[in-house]
Structures are given as C-alpha cells and as structure tokens.
Chain A
Amino acid sequence: MNTGKPLVMADGLTKYFPLPKGKKVHAVDGVDLTIYEREIVGLVGESGSGKTTFGKTIIGLLPKSGGTVSYRGETLPQRYKPADFRRQAQVMQMIFQDPYSSLNPRMTVGEIVGEGLKLHAGLSRNDTRDKVADWLTKVGLEPDYMSRYPHEFSGGQRQRIGIARALILEPEFVVCDEPISALDVSVQAQVVNLLEELQGSMGLTLLFIAHDLSMVRYISDRMAVMYLGALAEIGPAKDVFFNPKHPYTEILIASNPEPDPETERQRLSTTIAGEIPSPVDIPAGCRFAGRCPHAMERCRVETPQLLPLPENTDRQVACHLFA
C-alpha cells in the first residue's frame, strides 16, 4: 500500500491557538503523518479532536505553530505569504464541510468554480467558460447552471460545486473536510462515488476527514485516528476498523451503530464514560488515560509514542499496551 512516493509529510506538526493569560488550545499537538501518492487517508476522531485544524494547517490555510510540512520533499513555509498561496493552490486544495456557508451567495456558480482559473491559469474568458462547463458536467451538474446562484441548489448539488471548485486547477492533493456529513444518506453515496471516480481518473491523493467511521473505512486506504490533537493509531483502513488496537479506537468503533439489528442485539454495552477533555490543559502522560479502561500507572506519567506494531509494521499505535 505504501508503495507510492511520499507526497505530503507532516513532521511534528503543531497548531496552538492562544487564549488570554498565556494559555493556549493545543488543537494539533505534534502529529507525524506521511501521505503517499495516490492514496486516500481517512482521518477520524470526535469533534474537538483537531481533525479540521490538522487539515487546514497541512495545506497552509492556518500558519503552523511548530513542526514542518513538506511537499514532494520540499519544506513549505511556516506561514504562507500571498505568493505561497498562489503557488500551493495549484497543487493542494480543500473541499469544505458545510456546502451552505462555503459558497459565496453573491457569486454565480460560474464565478465560484472559475475563480481559481481566473487567478491562476490566465485563460481567456471563453476558455475559462468552457473549462467551467466541462467541470460542471464532470461533477454531474448541467453546464447552464453557471449563471445560477448557490441558493438555487440542494446540499448535494452544492457539494458538487465545491468539488468542481477544488478540482478545476487539477491539484494533486485534496483535503476533504467532512464533505458528506451535511448530506442525506442517498446523496452521500453519490458524492463519495464521485470523489472515488475523480480520485481514480485524476490520480488524486486525498486526506478524507470524517466522523462517519463506516464511510471512512469504505473509502480510505489507510485510516488515522485522532484524539485530542494527537494520532492514536494509523494503519490500513480495514485492519484498523476490524481489528482496532488502541483502546480509544476500539471504543470508537464499538460505539458505531451497525445497520444490522442482529449485530446490534448481540452488542455488549461498550459505552465509555466521560467526554473528550479540554485541549487547553492537556493531561500529562497518555491523553486518553483518564477515560481508558486499561490505564496503567505508566500511562499517567509517560506519553506513548506512535510506534509500529512488532508483528505488523504497517500499523502504528500510540499506546503503552503495545510498546
């Protein structure tokens, strides 16, 4: 699976948000993640675990507080200047979660989708128009929707517009931030299939952020589990889903209701007490120790590192149980 070349590499990537009185929110706290060419990495975790911040920081929408991100071996600036955005926008793009607030209501669909071309490609008006029409068709919309405004479209259609906008510059790496969570089940499948097809035909590399575990398992090659700003576990999506190692992953997956009454009747109650702690005061030792059913003395003192499993080096787990 990791046969491709590394495309994006986060090394100790850190993002803090300052609070009054010298405190800070540790949204992303030292994440190492290598994403290989043409792979889909799914990133899951509860709200507040730092998934979106990680996605935004890795493509430079947020300046980094620490660590580095490199792209094809070249280290990217800590804080993007306008020129960096211009350059990076052609290789890295983002699809946003909320198809309602992420499209400017005062721009037509043609302007929204074509804006990137206008800024970057230097095409003539007619060529831009043709390309926008072409992309609207590619994402399953009509070319003559160009002159309409976002409010005229359903959630699924808006998400297609967002996808066309992100992909029209033919980027290599796309961060999809919860692209389907605002959509109905039947429409989710349409959008996921579209993303899969485009990923295949354009050779895209995707970071797919979501909280729907089944969908991430379905679409991803590898799955990374984030908890309180750090990675708890990463590995081939199927392995992680069907054979979770980290106690947090185990609980997360056990809480995921299956659309199968028989399975649900046999399910043991796996409810985990408590909630994700505040990312302001990160506990010493393992971040999950306070909620972990297997917590040991060591977990409260020493922070576990994300290490490969001895029996399977494809999988990495940050837990003392496996060290």
Chain B
Amino acid sequence: MTQNGSGETQPPLLEVNDLKVEFDTYGGTVQAVRGVSFSIEGGQTLAIVGESGCGKSVTVQTLMGLVPMPPGRLKSGTATLRGENILGQTQIGGKDFRGSEIGMIFQDPMTSLNPTMTIGRQIAETLEVHRGWSRKKSLARAVELLEMARIPEAAQRAKQYPFEFSGGMLQRAMIAMAIACEPAILIADEPTTALDVTIQAQVLDLMQDLQRDRGTAIILITHDLGVVARMADEVAVMYAGQIVERGSVDDIFYRPAHPYTVGLRAAMPSNNPAAEHRLLPIEGSPPDLFSPPVGCAYAARCPHAMRVCNTHDPAPFAVGKGHFGKCWLHHERVPGGAQRIVSAIAGATTGDVVQPASANQGDAR
C-alpha cells in the first residue's frame, strides 16, 4: 500500500500546503487555520500538538471533508494524497477515499458511534460501502477486526450496542472500524484523552502494533506531550492556527526551536528527580482569532518578545534537517537567539528561575 523508495520522484503519501480555513460567525470571521503545511510518509507517526482552539482538529477535519461549509470556508491551500487533490472533495477516481484510504478515530467514542446499531454492523457497514462486500462476509470480517483490536469474545461483542461497551473498548472498536478497509493513513484526533492511563496504554500499543504490521501512517492529534514522546516520529507544534515548530520528536524535546514549545514543557511537572522545577505557566491566553495579531501570534505571551515580533510575522527558520522554528530569535541579526529559547527550561531545571510569585496570573490580561 505504502511502498516508497521505488522512485525518487514519487509524491509524498499526504502533502498539505498552506491550508487556511475560516468560519463565519455572528461575531465575525474566525481564522481557525492560518497557513498549515505538512507531509507524511507511510509507516510514520506525525503528532500535531497544541492547546484547545489552536486549529489542530479543524486541520484534519478539513482534509476529511468534515467541516461544514458554510459556515466554514476554505480560504487557500492544497492537500494531495499520492499526488491527487483531496481538498473540497470526497472521491478520488470515483471512489470515496474517506474510510478506505484515510481512516479516522475520534476523541469521544461515546458520541461518535451510532447508539442504535450493533458494533459489528457499524464496522461491517464500512466494508459493504467501500468494498462492496456482502453483509455476511463483512460481518465475519468485523469480528476478525474486533479480535485484532483485542476485544475479548469478539463474536458476542459484535452483537452488542455501544452502551454495553466501556470507553476503552469503544475506542478499540472505533480503531477496528477505522482500519477495516486497511487505510494508508489513520488520523487519530485525541484518541486517548477520554481514557484512563492504563487503558490509554492499551490503545496506544494497539495503534503501534497495527502500524508495524501494515505500514500505516498515523496522524496523531493530542495535547499530551507524554503521548507525543511515546508515539511520534515527527512533531508539529500548533499555536493560534499555525505550525510554529516542526521537527523530529528528539528535536522537539531536546532541541526545541520555539519559545511556545519550551513553555509547554516547562508548564508540566518533570518526573526526572534531577530536573525537578517549579511549574512555569505560560502567562496570558492565546490571541483572538477573529483578528489575529499582525506580528507573531505568540509575542504577547513570549518571555523573549522583541519589537519586531509585534510588527512582523516570523518566517519558519530552518534550524536543522527537517526542523524549523517560526521565531525571530533564529534570525541572523539576533546573535545567540537560539540559546535564549532554551534558556527558560534550562534555568527551570536547575531551579534558578525565580518567577514573580502570582504577580500576573490572570489569563485574561
């Protein structure tokens, strides 16, 4: 499915370029996604990290054609699956690619499954629609898929309704449904946020095993840096509708190139006893996307903000192979800027950063 390397010129499995999505509301136009570009190859896991409202879900929902338009509006951008455009359409070559080429797992399994259909039928339906299989054949495959998703007594379970499943089992059933047609890409939108850590570990393990067996590409949307560290090969950090940093998982954790990435990390407790530090919250709150700032969107909360940050949006500066940070500190006219980015966390880990206690806690200021 996802064989690469046969030809140098083969287009990436999925490539998204300068995606911009807006929503018209009574209060004005929200610029939810403001120029997002990324690509992913088979067998890779790309994690898209960010806080609520940063546009990570809207990005993937746009790819899947799940954003209602109107009120949504595609302002610009392209997205191609193996070189074929998928934006604004649901079919490639007369076949619906959603479900067959790209599978999706949603955050809340309780509300994303049909409560009036048995689990088995819901999975089988995918196969009937995309593969044209008979009811019986599809149902038999659904049971196999549930087994693959480690649902005990799959044959009996397939006859049950969603309310008879626990949250962890529903999420696994949803994975079974998403992989029914062996998609090349699996998009998982906060797949474990509603689950306990032990169940989260089961679901993440399952996703990793499936990826190993089938070479599926995974786009994992999450706000949990622990899940990112565990699952991702590549990471895109989103803030206010833009990717502010992109790199390998090691780049993001060990050589962060954007103050927001550093800030997120410093706001979490470290369980490394040598690196114990007081939590350093990111003061303030994300900008209003009705009228995003002209300069860097993070400038108002950034401890390193310079004059230029308020007036000019920084370009993505390449800082390593496949690693960029969208921050003026990487500009050649800011000597030592890159060191300044990591200094906050370096200071925090040695414990010598003294925060002005409660001086400005207000997330509205």
Contacts and interface: CB of A to CB of B under 8 A. Distances in A.
Interface of A: 46-47, 139-142, 153-157, 160, 184-190, 192-194, 197, 211, 213-215, 217-218, 238, 241-242, 251-252, 255-261, 263-264, 267, 269-273, 275-276
Interface centre among A154, A215, A260, A270 (most CB of B within 10 A): A260
Given A189-B267, A189-B268, A192-B279, A271 B202 contact: yes
Nearest to B260: A186
8 contacts: A189-B281, A190-B363, A217-B269, A255-B201, A257-B227, A258-B226, A259-B268, A264-B226
A271 B205 contact: yes
B280 A270 contact: no
Nearest to A211: B196
A-B pairs, 8 with minimum CB distance: A140-B361, A257-B226, A218-B269, A189-B281, A186-B282, A189-B267, A259-B225, A189-B279
Nearest to B273: A242
Contacts of A188: 267, 281
B229 A185 contact: no
A84 B169 CA distance: 43
Interface in B185-231: 196-202, 204-205, 223-230
B264 interface: yes
B52 interface: yes
Contact of B364 (A46, A141, A256, A257): A141
Given A186-B263, A242-B273, A256-B197, A154 B285 contact: yes
B268 A185 contact: yes
B278 interface: yes
Nearest to A198: B358
Nearest to A241: B271
Contacts of B141: none
Nearest to B225: A259
Contact of A156 (B202, B224, B232, B363): B363
Given A140-B358, A215-B269, A261-B253, A189 B226 contact: no
Contacts of B202: 271-273
A184 B361 contact: no
A157 B230 contact: no
A255 to B, nearest CB: 4
A197 B264 CA distance: 21
B272 interface: yes
B341 to A, nearest CB: 16
B3 interface: no
A260 B275 CA distance: 12
Contacts of B271: 214, 217, 241, 258
Interface in B245-278: 249-250, 253-254, 263-265, 267-273, 278
B361 A194 contact: yes
Contacts of B253: 259-261
Contacts of A255: 197-198, 200-201
Given A154-B285, A259-B229, A264-B229, A184 B196 contact: no
A185 B225 contact: yes
Nearest to B251: A261
Contacts of B52: 155, 184
B281 A190 contact: yes
B224 A257 contact: yes
